[in-house]
Structure 1
Amino acid sequence: MAKILDRLLLFIYSLSIGIISVIAILLLTNIMPLSLSSSDEKTWYIVSLVVAALLFILSIRFFYISVRRERNSLPSIDQRTDYGDIQISIETIQNLSYKAASRVRGIKEVKTKIRITDAGLEIMVRAMVDGETSIPSLTEDVQKQVHDHVEEITGIPVSYVSVYIANIVQSTVMKNRVE
């Protein structure tokens, strides 16, 4: 919601600056002469002051947005060692999970999703199977392989590995027909 509001404010800000720039150019080049009575001058002064204050506030907001550090753009798991800090991206853990699950014979078309909890990593594996191996034994092998591989490589505890078997892959091998 905040991003949508910021985009709307940026649009209004850009439009306002553009209009004010055009008016300033027209006034400074005397294409549009300015002749005001004393009551109009006071109103013009107040309106100008309010517009300038709003544009200044919007400028401060956009300056803050431009210099703040966005932590959500690259999610990672941070660890501290005796030698310094380590950051492991969620994408790296997804690829490790994918690699481990793909090694299990009978598993095809793997997709993984990672969630970080206080207890450790929760890894969700979605896969298709060949249909020739027992699904319970396949899923157990996938869980063990993913759990052990991710913990061994990253050093991050894995609290939970769930496996969702989406479907059976249809084999494209055609048997030769003898006539």
Structure 2
Amino acid sequence: MVRVIDKLLLFVYSIVIGAASIGLFCISLRWIPEQTAVDAVSQFYEDVQWVQVAGAVVGVVLFLISLRLFYISVKRSGSTSQSIDQRNEFGDIRISMETVENLALKAASRHRGLKDLRARIRISEAGLDIVIRTVVDGDSSIPVLTEEIQRSVKGHVEEITGIPVAGISVYVANVVQAPAFKSRVE
């Protein structure tokens, strides 16, 4: 949610700064008459109360957005890539989620008839939940193939990482369409 708000703030800030830069560009090339620019600035000093309030509000909002964007740009990324932390008698072990994904993909890719493999890993109380997404060639039985994938991925990930795998879901997204060849008759 915070990232969405930050993106929205960046968008609004970019629009306002873009409009201001276009205005400054037009004034510097004298595309906006001098009197129009002077009249616009002088309205802030006249007794038009709503113009002064609007200008103050816009100024404060832009300043706050600037502070937020500055904070985002200089803060240290406290959230490094997600990892699974373990401790043994020699010290700490950290295994990145990307490593576990790659291990799952490696185990799944050993099976024939799979295309476009993708993996997603989630940590649960019982262990790792792995979701494998793939496209099959349609030449093998899907239930048999997915069961083999589940068995091999579970065994491989548990053997290499030492982390229990709670469940493996295999999502078959599609079947590869074989190219149709026309036979030539001579």
Determine if the TM-score, normalized by the shorter chain, exceeds 0.5.
yes
Q: Which residue in 2 is equivalent to 1:86? A: 94
Q: Note if contact 1:98-1:110 (Cα within 8 Å) is conserved in structure 2.
A: no
Aligned-partner Cα distance in 2 for 1:135–1:20: 62
2:14 — aligned with what? 11
SS at match of 1:40: coil
Partner of 1:131: 139
The alignment partner of 1:86 has SS state of strand
TM-aligned CA deviation for residue 66 of structure 1 = 1.6
Moved over 4 A (4+): 19-26, 31-37, 41-51, 69-72, 168-172
Question: Taking structure 1 as reference, are residues 161 and 127 closer, same or farther at Cα in structure 2, changes over 3 Å only?
Answer: farther
Aligned residue pairs total: 163
| Unaligned runs of at least 5 residues, structure 2 | 181-186
Q: Is the 8 A contact 1:101 1:146 kept in 2?
A: yes
CA contact (8 A) 1:110 1:127 kept: yes
- Structure 2 CA distance for partners of 1:129 and 1:25, relative to 1, 3 Å: closer
Shift of 1:88: 0.7
Letter in 2 for 1:142: I
1:147 Cα offset (Å): 0.5
The RMSD of aligned alpha carbons is 4.2
Change (3 A) 1:48 1:121: same
Q: Percent of aligned positions with the same letter in both sequences? A: 30
1:131 is paired with a residue whose SS is: coil
Counting only pairs closer than 5 Å after superposition, residues 13-162 of structure 1 correspond to structure 2 as 13-15=16-18, 18=21, 40=46, 49-69=56-76, 75-81=81-87, 83-84=91-92, 86-90=94-98, 92-104=99-111, 106-118=112-124, 119-125=126-132, 126-129=134-137, 131=139, 134-162=141-169
Deviation for aligned residue 1:79: 0.8
Distance 1:41 1:23 in 2: 27
| Conserved? CA contact 1:128–1:169, under 8 Å | no
Structure 1 residues 19 and 162: CA distance shift in structure 2, 3 A? closer
Length-normalised TM-score, structure 2? 0.61
Provide the residue aligned with 1:175 in structure 2. none
Partners of 1:16 and 1:2 in 2: CA distance = 21
Scaled by the length of structure 1, the TM-score of the pair is 0.63
Check whether the contact 2:101–2:121 (CA below 8 A) recurs between aligned residues.
Answer: no
Deviation at 1:98, TM superposition (A): 1.8
